[in-house]
């Protein structure tokens, strides 16, 4: 067993590397530019949403209980559309430092749990490829597969989800490479 305390450097460095890579992938590379679309007749739609007094939260429309789902009125609402989910943030400009800080903390958390698993399954002096394989698999489960449930349950498009899974693969490979490189010898 490898002591978890011996893995603090790969935990922190992999989080930094993933953070920088994700920034490059989302700000400089063009493949994420089509992920979001503007609301049709945005000013009119936003005015109607403001008038409704929406607060922060996740909204489902049309809304009903499980019992309502089979009622003719609810079926008609579904058929008329639109049907969806909408996330509403607090009013005001996006607080990017907060989002980036939370993303970095998430990367650290993944690094910690990947290290925990690796520390209990990989002994010191293990060859780079063996460390890479185990750490890469664990990191891919965290970074890559987490978004698939949003396509299943929240209507996220599959094209967006596939891009997120591919991003997760890149993050997992970077994490695996960092741990393989810095694994205790």
| pLDDT value of residue 163 | 96
| pLDDT value of residue 135 | 98
Can you give the length of the chain in residues?
A: 185
- Look up the pTM and report it: 0.90
| pLDDT value of residue 177 | 98
| pLDDT value of residue 136 | 98
- From residue 68, alpha-carbon distances to 71, 154, 155 in Å are 5, 19, 20
Residue pair 118/173 in contact (Cβ under 8 Å)? The answer is no
| pLDDT value of residue 129 | 98
DSSP structure string for 124-173: TT--HHHHHHHHHHHHHHHHTSTTHHHHHHS---HHHHHHHHHHHHHHHH
The Cβ of residue 154 has, within 10 Å, a number of other Cβ atoms equal to 13
List, for the chain, all residue ranges whose pLDDT scores fall below the cut of 50.
none
């Amino acid at each position: 067993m490898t002591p978890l305390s011996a893995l603090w450097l790969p935990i922190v460095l992999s989080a930094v590397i993933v953070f920088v890579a994700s920034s490059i992938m989302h700000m400089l590379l063009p493949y994420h530019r089509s992920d979001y679309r503007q609301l049709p007749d945005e000013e009119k739609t936003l005015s109607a949403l403001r008038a409704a007094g929406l607060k922060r939260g996740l909204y489902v429309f049309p809304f009903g209980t499980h019992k309502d789902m089979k009622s003719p009125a609810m079926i008609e609402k579904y058929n008329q559309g639109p049907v969806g989910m909408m996330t509403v943030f607090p009013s005001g400009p996006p607080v990017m430092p907060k989002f980036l800080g939370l993303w970095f903390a998430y990367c650290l958390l993944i690094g910690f749990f990947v290290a925990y698993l690796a520390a209990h399954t990989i002994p010191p002096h293990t060859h780079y490829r063996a460390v890479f394989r185990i750490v890469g698999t664990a990191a891919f489960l965290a970074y890559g597969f987490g978004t698939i449930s949003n396509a299943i349950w929240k209507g996220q498009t599959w094209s967006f989800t596939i891009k997120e899974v591919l991003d997760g693969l890149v993050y997992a490979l970077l994490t695996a490479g960092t741990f393989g490189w810095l694994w205790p010898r």
